[in-house]
Structure 1
């Protein structure tokens, strides 16, 4: 299809066209989270199946999206935004705590969010892989945001005397890759540990990278 169909304008049943459009997108994305993130998965989902799950028509689909890949791209960004918001909220609450406690709070919030819904985890770590160069670029761009966040925290820790001054970007990229892989493997049942144990191990690894003191007992 060359482009999306024209969207309706005006008010209907007291709702604006913008409100109706936003509601349609929410329904398509909610249906995609279920179908892409569970069964049958992105590659086995059709436009017809997505429309049926959303309770909407194919015409309404093409008013919002060009392809299923567009839906996956938007859903991937949405799921990552949720996880980022959870981590940033925990970081804000951690305030002036030492780096070990800050790391535990942030990774605990992130891990709980990502693993709390297996569908979100599959969208982030499984379904997005290998779809297209465009989505691979998007995936790496979102990972880069986590690397930037970690580097910023490392820089702040250096300023407080809690970390050794050096360039942390390569180490941060390696660490974020390890975080993603470990959380995926844990959620799939390949790692025999509690989520608290997984988070504690991640914090220990991070402190080793920073050469920072360990967290206080308890």
Structure 2
């Protein structure tokens, strides 16, 4: 019937259905970030606890996610996306700098983007490990993205004549593995350092491998 308002178009509290759904999802994500990114962590958190923290029902949860693992997967993608954006946002302003300074700026941006919120760092480097084959694959895919980024950085440095021509793929994979290992050990408390110190140590690893003077 022309002019009929469907249920999906009705507004409650000034918000339409899509806005209410987005708000519910955001509340579940924030609850998951708090519970998974601090004690008790993903493995120690129940669906009921997530719903209670979000102030929503289990029915509403299942309208957004199939299981708690889906919430963890979304959070993992979110925190890695934030770290990636932090690095990419630095690129336009550093293109004219020497390689060592470009790397320094990128690494500090990465660590700030990944770990300025400790909950983000815990999810990215600790909570996702060993959860399931699906989460392991997602974690490795994100790692592969960073290896690709490192390869692009070294290819650019070769083209500029800043480092000698070589296949730096293995070095990139080894470096990203070292990044993840150090970040894990730092997040769980095995390494006592500030974010700036972590970024500086990661920089020294790169400078040593590519024989670049700071």
TM-score (norm 2): 0.91
- Give, in whole Å, the separation in 2 of the partners of 1:192 and 1:122: 15
Other-structure match for 2:95: 95
Other-structure match for 1:133: 133
SS at match of 2:97: coil
- Give, in whole Å, the separation in 1 of the partners of 2:200 and 2:113: 16
- Give, in whole Å, the separation in 1 of the partners of 2:188 and 2:72: 21
Other-structure match for 1:9: 8
- The Cα of 1:170 is off from its aligned counterpart by 1.3
Contact in 2 for aligned 1:204/1:214 (Cα 8 Å): no
- Give, in whole Å, the separation in 1 of the partners of 2:46 and 2:190: 31
**Structure 2 gap segments, 5+ residues each:** 1-6
Contact in 2 for aligned 1:128/1:136 (Cα 8 Å): yes
Contact in 1 for aligned 2:125/2:183 (Cα 8 Å): no
- The Cα of 1:190 is off from its aligned counterpart by 2.7
**Structure 1 gap segments, 5+ residues each:** 1-7
Across the two proteins, how many residue pairs are aligned to each other?
Answer: 207
- The Cα of 1:13 is off from its aligned counterpart by 2.4
TM-score (norm 1): 0.89
Q: Which stretch of the first structure deviates more once superposed, 40-49 or 72-81?
A: 40-49
- The Cα of 1:118 is off from its aligned counterpart by 1.7
Give every structure 1 segment of 4 or more consecutive aligned residues whose post-TM-superposition deviation is greater than 4 Å: none
1:29 lines up with 2:29 in the alignment: yes
Other-structure match for 2:18: 18
